[in-house]
């Protein structure tokens, strides 16, 4: 794991985490609860008690998750286990505002669920003041659809997290009744069918994560004016990119990777806060949109694995993307030369252009890419000298892949000859050597074994980028959970 990259991704995610903090601390439901610090329910706080109906409902919910111990607690708000949060109203009656379940880590003490027989009790609809409902890995061995009665939690619920619970079937359209939700997270279940249009009623949504399900159909033409995070990756979504959703100026993260989305990338403008834009492994076609230059905050643009067949990268394609650190354009069947202007993306750390039909030389401007730590140019039709100094080649080491091109070579004066290990494993010879005449260079320089090695290396690196991004997602998630937990404490 590249430490520097981790650092970048961490920094990148601080912004997302920050938005999560805002989300998590956003309280103020329609009820008349007293906000601010929750007064301790000590014996001396005379008269304070938990709403009797809610108390019974909590017992039901705890029984339904295998937490029978809780029914021995005479006052659940006084029980103060991690995972329940209450607030008093003006008459000093306490109401349940948050319930959380699931072992997130060894350090969190949310009640765990008995996975073989847990379910969500319908009594949950009696918690009229509930703002947060959180179930993590609770029902995996007793999987059921998401209950539609959750829609009855109506306008008080702000955060609904049903993560990795084995829920299958459709997303109930009743969830559209949760019009005050800011966070809807149904990550990694077995949900199928299409995304309900009714979700468009949740106008204040900031984070929508439906990733890792089996959702199909087109992404509906709905929009959320305050959306920060849109994550629909790893589903079976098809049809065109959703223009209304992608026009939401508050977006910071868009991940629609690993679906079956087709058509072209529309002109998206004004997404000045967008940090991550991942459309990789879909069925999108060229040309490149000419509007990316408005994405001033963009740090990662990942389009790998879309069939942009023979599309030439325009010289100004990435103009204005001054914060770009990760650019993934591999396995897209791009043709023509690598634009010289790419060398002006001076913050680039990771550049993947492998698996295309790119021809011509590596632009000399690439020697300006001082932060580059990973460069994949293998499996193209590139020719001419490698424009890097020895130090850079040495620093990138195995993360530089140049193999399987038709005529890349090194200039003796660059001092690169001393790094024959790196270069020859990538199939690169001396520019003046007759070996490097394009017609026979491939046979001469790379044996079958070498080829195989380079190919494997490049596939692996694609995975490693994906893996890093997954890890980065996990970091965001863990950070969010951490903040969320700190809010609860
Ligand atoms: C919820 O939404 C459905 C339609 O999506 C509607 O029929 C129902 O009346 C709504 N209200 C409640 C409380 O479920
Ligand atoms: C969703 O999955 C269930 C089984 O889990 C299946 O019965 C149903 O037909 C599927 N629906 C769609 C729309 O794919
Ligand atoms: C969304 O609207 C566009 C036109 O603005 C249309 O082409 C597309 O089919 C619509 N998508 C859906 C899922 O309705
Ligand atoms: C690169 O390929 C394109 C076709 O994709 C061709 O028109 C062009 O002449 C090639 N350029 C070089 C330098 O080989």
| 87-135 confidence digits (pLDDT tens) | 999 999 999 999 999 987 777 779 999 888 899 999 999 999 999 999 9
pLDDT band at 56 (very low <50, low <70, confident <90, very high): very high
Pocket perturbation via mutation, ligand 2, pick of 145, 166, 192, 238 by most ligand atoms within 8 A of CB:
192
Q: Whose CA is nearest to atom 7 of ligand 4?
A: 336
| 407 vs 374, higher pLDDT | 374
166 CA to centre of ligand 4 in angstroms: 51
pLDDT-derived band at 407 (thresholds 50, 70, 90) equals confident
Instruction: Please report the atom of ligand 4 found closest to the CA of residue 360.
Output: 13
**CA–CA separation, 219 vs 260, rounded Å?**
11
Q: What percent of the chain has pLDDT over 70?
A: 76
Residue nearest to ligand 4 atom 2, measured at CA: 336
pLDDT at residue 19 greater than cutoff 50? no
Rounded to the nearest 5 degrees, what angle is found at the Cα of 462, between the Cα atoms of 459 and 465?
Answer: 150
Q: Is pLDDT of 362 > 90? A: yes
Q: State residue 414's pLDDT score.
A: 67
Residue nearest to atom 12 of ligand 4 (CA): 360
Q: How far is the CA of 192 from the centre of ligand 2 (A)?
A: 6
State residue 330's pLDDT score. Answer: 98
Distance 319 CA to ligand 3 centre (A): 29
CB of 147 within 6 A of ligand 1: the answer is no
Q: What is the mean pLDDT of residues 386-399?
A: 86
**Most confident stretch, 6-10, 47-51, 244-248:** 244-248
Residue with CA closest to ligand 4 atom 9: 336
* Interaxial angle between packed helices 3-24 and 448-488, expressed in degrees from 0 to 180 and rounded to the nearest 10: 30
Q: Which range in 87-91, 182-186, 397-401 is most confidently predicted, on average pLDDT?
A: 182-186
Ligand 4 atom closest to Cα of residue 357: 5
Residue 250, helix vs strand vs coil: coil
Instruction: Count other C-beta atoms under 10 Å from residue 164's C-beta.
Output: 17
Is pLDDT above 80 for 324? Answer: yes
Q: What is the mean pLDDT of residues 195-201?
A: 97
pLDDT band at 10 (very low <50, low <70, confident <90, very high): very low
- 260 pLDDT above the threshold of 50: yes
| Alpha carbon of 194 to ligand 3 centroid (Å) | 14
Ligand in closest contact with the CA of 309: 4
Ligand 3 binding pocket (C-beta < 6 A) is: 218, 220-221, 239, 243
Least confident of 80-94, 261-275, 402-416, 451-465: 451-465
Angstrom distance (rounded) from CA 284 to CA 305? 9
Q: Is the CB of 340 under 6 A from ligand 1?
A: no
- d(CA 208, CA 204) in angstroms, rounded, equals 11
Q: Is the CB of 143 under 6 A from ligand 2?
A: no
Q: What is the pLDDT of residue 109?
A: 76
On average, the pLDDT of the chain sits at 82
In angstroms, the CA 165 to CA 153 distance is 20
Cα–Cα dist 334/329, whole Å: 8
> How remote is the CA of residue 147 from the centroid of ligand 1, in Å?
13
pLDDT at 226: 96
Contacts of 18 (CB under 8 A, 6+ apart): none
Q: Residue 487 above 50 pLDDT?
A: no
Buried b (16+ CB within 10 A) or exposed e, 392-406: bbeebeebbbbbbbe
E-only strand ranges, 40-131: 49-50, 84-88, 93-101
* Confidence at residue 207, expressed as pLDDT on a 0 to 100 scale: 98
Count CA atoms closer than 13 A to 457's CA, side-chain side.
25
* Residue 174 beta carbon below 6 angstroms from any ligand 1 atom: yes
Instruction: Check residue 248 and give its pLDDT.
Output: 93
As a whole number of angstroms, the distance between CA 218 and CA 202 comes to 19
Alpha carbons 347 and 391: distance in angstroms, whole number: 18
């Amino acid at each position: 794991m590249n430490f520097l990259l981790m650092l970048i991704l961490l920094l990148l995610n601080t912004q997302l985490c920050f938005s999560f903090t805002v989300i998590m601390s956003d309280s103020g439901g329609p009820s008349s609860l007293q906000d601010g610090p929750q007064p301790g329910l000590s014996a001396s706080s005379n008269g304070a008690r938990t709403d009797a109906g809610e108390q019974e409902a909590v017992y039901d919910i705890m029984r339904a998750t295998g937490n029978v111990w809780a029914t021995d607690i005479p006052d659940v708000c006084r029980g103060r286990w991690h995972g329940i949060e209450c607030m008093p109203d003006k008459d000093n009656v306490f109401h349940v505002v948050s319930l959380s379940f699931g072992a997130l880590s060894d350090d969190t003490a949310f009640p765990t669920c008995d996975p073989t027989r847990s379910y969500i009790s319908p009594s949950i609809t009696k918690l009229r003041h509930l703002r947060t409902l959180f179930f993590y890995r609770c029902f995996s061995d007793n999987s059921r659809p998401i209950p539609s009665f959750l829609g009855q939690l109506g306008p008080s619920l702000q955060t609904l997290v049903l993560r990795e619970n084995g829920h299958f079937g459709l997303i109930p359209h009743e969830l559209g009744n949760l019009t005050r939700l800011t966070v809807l997270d149904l990550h990694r279940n077995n949900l199928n069918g299409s995304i309900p249009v009714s979700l468009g009623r949740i106008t204040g949504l900031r984070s929508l994560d439906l990733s890792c399900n089996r959702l199909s159909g087109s992404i509906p033409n709905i929009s959320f004016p305050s959306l920060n995070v849109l994550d629909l990756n790893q589903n079976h979504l098809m049809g065109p990119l959703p223009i209304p959703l992608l026009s939401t100026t508050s977006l910071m993260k868009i991940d629609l990777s690993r679906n079956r989305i087709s058509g072209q990338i529309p002109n998206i403008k004004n997404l000045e806060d967008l940090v991550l834009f991942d459309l990789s492994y879909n069925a999108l076609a060229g040309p490149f949109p000419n509007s990316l230059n408005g994405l001033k905050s963009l740090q990662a643009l990942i389009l790998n694995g879309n069939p942009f067949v023979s599309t030439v990268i325009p010289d100004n394609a990435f103009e204005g993307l001054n914060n770009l650190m990760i650019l993934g354009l591999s396995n897209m069947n791009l043709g023509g030369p690598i634009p010289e202007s790419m060398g002006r993306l001076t913050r680039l750390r990771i550049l993947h252009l492998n698996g295309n039909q790119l021809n011509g030389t590596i632009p000399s401007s690439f020697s300006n890419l001082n932060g580059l730590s990973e460069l994949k140019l293998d499996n193209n039709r590139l020719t001419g000298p490698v424009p890097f100094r020895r130090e850079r080649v040495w620093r990138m080491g195995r993360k530089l892949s140049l193999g399987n091109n038709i005529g890349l070579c090194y200039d003796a004066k660059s001092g690169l000859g001393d790094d024959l290990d790196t270069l020859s494993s990538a199939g690169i010879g001396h520019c003046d050597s007759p070996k490097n005449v394009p017609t026979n260079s491939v046979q001469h320089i790379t044996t079958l074994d070498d080829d195989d090695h380079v190919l494997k290396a490049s596939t692996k690196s694609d995975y490693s980028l994906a893996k890093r991004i997954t890890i980065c997602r996990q970091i965001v998630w863990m950070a969010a959970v951490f903040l969320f937990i700190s809010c609860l404490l």
